[in-house]
Structure 1
């Protein structure tokens, strides 16, 4: 026979915890109502069915409480698998995929096609209304060719590297956001840009998300990654960084490798008026809700040097 009193006691404890969680969220629900969050979605979170489902549900919850999420997604592993299937060789320079004309067609097909529509479908299955966009739609992401230089190891002379149709955002056209109702619709954007002469450019999703966040004056830029955030020299998470902190950490060799361009994107965003930029571990279920609606948040937040700016959940 079930011990009703014991069961009720356990149930009450669970309900109290849930009530306390909602109470903790209340200031952030008020603070962010009506604000835009630009969320870069990529990495392991995209490849795991459970995490992908939780991501879609998190996005719909943000929308339900009055926040306007704008999703910018990557898709490097999926592009790589398609190129392998088609027996198209892919070369990388400093982490960037060299993209010739044949490759950029595949990149656009994968990003603007299958991946974009999978994310749209997942959000709609979770109860939201999503619309898939390419950066080419409405000339949303106007791009230019990305140039990189590298010192020759023998002569130490800098030489320009040709990355093909790899681009960087030149201008974000906000008209498309004015044309759709952000109060109702969740945009899901593939990071494909259009050049001045109609060329198609493959753009890094982090860069695209940062540029869109800046153009929209977003309250938050959220970067989902495959790491917990920025770690100190002892491997401990650094919860908050300012531009001054970043300068010191780079000088000490703490911030290195692939984290450098992510940090630079975040710094550019906050310099351009984004409230705060946060690097989160996309491998953690419901990480967006934990960051947004809890007092201490998770991951690493990059904010302006003024402590009055960009604080909080």
Structure 2
């Protein structure tokens, strides 16, 4: 069955059933804030961009308050390549020097974020892009290796606070806020922040009902090579075991760590969804059977 004809091929009774299944979830989540980490294929494939952003517009239309923290890794990598620069990551975090932070700010604040907000506006909602450095406060990230050796990531920050007033004003005015993962230090320096971590911090400070990560995998997998090995629900202890086995590694580490931090701070639900699947947000939020991985403590 072609996806474009799906609605047409449903009987009137089936269409009514779909709406009735969604109704209790619409009522339950109305006025709640959902922080959505938007990145990966859902942000780069034109067809997925349209489907994902239209779904976010629908969330707002039924009374949910979506707040987007966007990534932009591939856009940054392409801009670096044009300048003859090579990206370097350690434990999923981009090492960032002074030249690179200027490039990242340019890409996220002038290209990626404004484009997302523009698309949402084209799809009938109201969206405003806010550069992260205007609302996130940060300190330089003091990281250490497993052996206790200090690690210098350069201009990479850890968020210590959020100016919530402009965000809440937008949300109460039925705007969708689109925020980049950048932050400002007390001395005025701008820091790069891992987008997963930025989404977690935002969810923590704004007391979100849900934190949703759109990823390029089918949730969290028990076997990386088997896309059907998705774990429906996973807790801290299981996450630790998968880290030890090397199954959770690289860019997945800051994702799961930030998810656990959000839960500890009182965020009600955290989900990892496959952003490559059309309408994955609606299927997770408004149907009786979830399709991603839920993180629990």
Question: TM-score normalized by structure 2?
Answer: 0.90
Name 2:56's counterpart in structure 1: 59
| Equivalence for 1:299 | 292
Instruction: Note if 1:40 corresponds to 2:37.
Output: yes
Matched position secondary structure for 1:193: strand
Give the CA deviation at 1:258. Answer: 3.0
Match of 2:218 among 217, 222, 228: 228
Query: Is 1:239 matched with 2:239?
Result: no
CA contact (8 A) 2:234 2:296 kept: yes
1:144 to 139, 146, 156: 139
Instruction: State the alpha-carbon separation in 1 of the partners of residues 246 and 87 from structure 2.
Output: 30
Task: Check the 8 A contact 1:39/1:221 in 2, yes or no.
Answer: yes
In structure 1, the gaps of 5 or more residues are: 1-9, 152-156, 305-313
The 8 Å contact of residues 143 and 151 in structure 2, kept in 1 or not, is answered as yes
Matched, 1:258 2:251: yes
Supply the distance in 2 between the matched residues of 1:181 and 1:218 (Cα, whole angstroms).
12
**CA shift at 1:263, angstroms?**
1.2
Give the superposition deviation at 1:11.
6.8
Partners of 1:92 and 1:240 in 2: CA distance: 28
- Aligned residue in 2 for 1:85: 82
**Which of 174, 178, 181 lines up with 1:188 in the alignment?**
178
Give the distance between the partners of 2:138 and 2:269, measured in 1 at CA.
Answer: 25
CA apart distance, 1:91: 2.9
Of the candidates 151, 163, 172, which is equivalent to residue 173 of structure 1?
A: 163
CA distance in 2: counterparts of 1:34 and 1:94, whole angstroms: 36
Structure 1 CA distance for aligned equivalents of residues 194 and 248 of structure 2: 20
1:245-268 deviation digits (Å, cap 9, x = unpaired): 434554565544432321111111
TM-score, normalised with respect to structure 1: 0.86
Higher alpha-carbon Rg = 1
Deviation per CA, 1:174-211, whole angstroms, max 9, x where unpaired?
12223434341100001110001111001100000000
Q: Which of 272, 286, 294 matches 2:279? A: 286
| 1:199 paired residue number | 189
Contact 2:65 2:171 (C-alpha < 8 Å) held by counterparts:
no
Q: Is the 8 A contact 1:39 1:223 kept in 2?
A: yes
Q: Measure, in 1, the Cα distance between the counterparts of 2:274 and 2:35.
A: 16
Tell me how far apart the structure 2 counterparts of residues 239 and 292 of structure 1 sit (CA, whole Å): 15
Compute the displacement of 1:73 (Å).
0.3
Residue 69 of structure 2 corresponds to residue 72 of structure 1: yes
What secondary structure is seen at the aligned counterpart in 2 of 1:188? strand
Larger deviation, residues 71-80 vs 163-172? 163-172
1:145: how far off?
1.1
Structure 2: how far apart are the matches of 1:99 and 1:254? 26
Query: What are structure 2's unaligned runs of at least 5 residues?
Result: 1-6
Asked whether the 8 Å contact 2:139–2:158 carries over to 1, the reply is: yes
Aligned CA RMSD, in angstroms, stands at: 2.1
1:211-222 alignment to 2 at 5 Å? Answer: 211-222=201-212
How many corresponding residue pairs?
288
Q: Does 1:208 align with 2:198?
A: yes
Deviation of the 1:115 alpha carbon:
0.3
- Give 1:154's aligned residue: none
- 1:30-73 deviation digits (Å, cap 9, x = unpaired): 10001000000001111100000011101110000000000000
CA distance in 2, matches of 1:97, 1:242: 27
SS in 2 for 1:209: helix
Report if aligned partners of 1:68, 1:183 keep a CA contact under 8 Å in 2. Answer: no
